[in-house]
Structure 1
Amino acid sequence: MPVHPEVEPLAFLLGTWSGEGHGEYPNSKPFDYGEEIRVWHVGKPYLGYASRTWALDDGRPMHSELGYWRLKEGRVELAVTHPTGVVEIEDGELDGMQVRLATTAVAMTPTAKSVTRLERDLKCTGSLLTYELRMAAVDQPLQYHLSAQLTRA
């Protein structure tokens, strides 16, 4: 089934990506993690997205998220839900095989930790996908939180 024309410029994200990353944030110990990202399509004007991570030292599950990528009027949109009770809407720009996103809205369940802003930069070079995520949360200003290098399976 062909990729919908509206999201064809994002087709470079399709597939299963796996690799390793590093994270840190105030009041937390730095950590290294493994990650698998899956991006798929069903012929509609969106791409499905799922990510799961695990600790490299003992394999315990860490974070996961699910969402959808869209491309409308030259703007990239990403809607993501987290099991921590956070839902984010991001908007940004596509430049070739690079995407730069920032939240336009963050919603939280009553028991979720406060997250006020997220920014993601992704870049695809051949079979390598790299990203950096910055976050403002729990009374901390926007700052580096995660980065990873993933290869297409």
Structure 2
Amino acid sequence: MGGYEDLEGFHYGQEITFAADGRPALGYVSHTWWADEPRDGREPGSPLATETGFWRVQPGEDGGTVVEVTLAHPFGIAEIYVGTVAGTRVDLDHNVLIRTATARDVTRSVRLYGIVEGGDLAYAIDMEAEGKPLQSHLSARLHRVTD
């Protein structure tokens, strides 16, 4: 489910791929598409967003686990998140966010990922943008698909 202040809620589909190539980082790609009734010029299946990057897990100074995530978006934003891993939960907060001159005025994003009942991946993304306070933006529960 997606939404934001002054934006009617919407449903979307998503595919996330994590890939390992032997280096100490997981490649990450996410594609989303419109899954609601037609509106605002969008039809079911219309692409919404793509993000690509890497997830890197490191030992933390306190004996815990730190995760660093780098993401790039085709609409002019690049992000670096730093967070912690606790069991099956990953909490991420912005470390750096950069925008091109024409990108949307996003100033902060916080993400929570977790493995939930049945082995599904659930997440919630809160965003601060366009002068509005940090608030819920996206959330989903994804089912694992293997080849």
Give the TM-score normalised by structure 1.
Answer: 0.83
**Aligned equivalents of 1:141, 1:111: Cα separation in 2:** 21
1:57-89 CA-to-partner distances (Å, cap 9, x unmatched) read 311111110010001232110000111101110
1:34 aligns with 2:10: no
1:87 maps to 2:78: yes
Q: 2:53 aligns to what?
A: 67
Q: Count residues with an aligned counterpart.
A: 132
Any stretches of 5+ residues in structure 1 without a counterpart? 1-21
Percent identity between matched residues is 41
What pairs with 1:4-153 in structure 2 (closer than 5 Å)?
A: 22-57=1-36, 58-73=44-59, 74-125=65-116, 126-153=118-145
Name the aligned partner's letter for residue 61 of structure 1.
P
Give the counterpart letter for 1:142 in structure 2: L
Uncovered stretches (5+) of structure 2, i.e. residues with no partner? 37-43, 60-64
- TM-score after normalising by structure 2: 0.87
How far the C-alpha of 1:105 sits from its partner, in A, is 0.8
SS at match of 1:45: coil
Look up the equivalent residue of 1:34 and give its one-letter code. G
Cα distance between partner residues in 2 of 1:67 and 1:28 = 27
Q: How much has 1:26 moved relative to structure 2?
A: 1.4
**In 2, Cα distance between equivalents of 1:71 and 1:142:** 26
Secondary structure at 1:140 match in 2 = coil
- Quick one: distance in 1 between partners of 2:51 and 2:81? 14
Q: Superposition RMSD on alpha carbons, in Å?
A: 0.9
Query: Which whole-Å CA distance do the structure 2 matches of 1:79 and 1:31 have between them?
Result: 26
Q: Distance in 2 between matches of 1:28 and 1:86?
A: 21
Query: Aligned partners of 2:35 and 2:4: how far apart in 1?
Result: 18
Between the aligned partners of 2:49 and 2:128, the Cα distance in structure 1 is: 17
- Bigger RCO (CA 8 Å, 6+ sep): 1
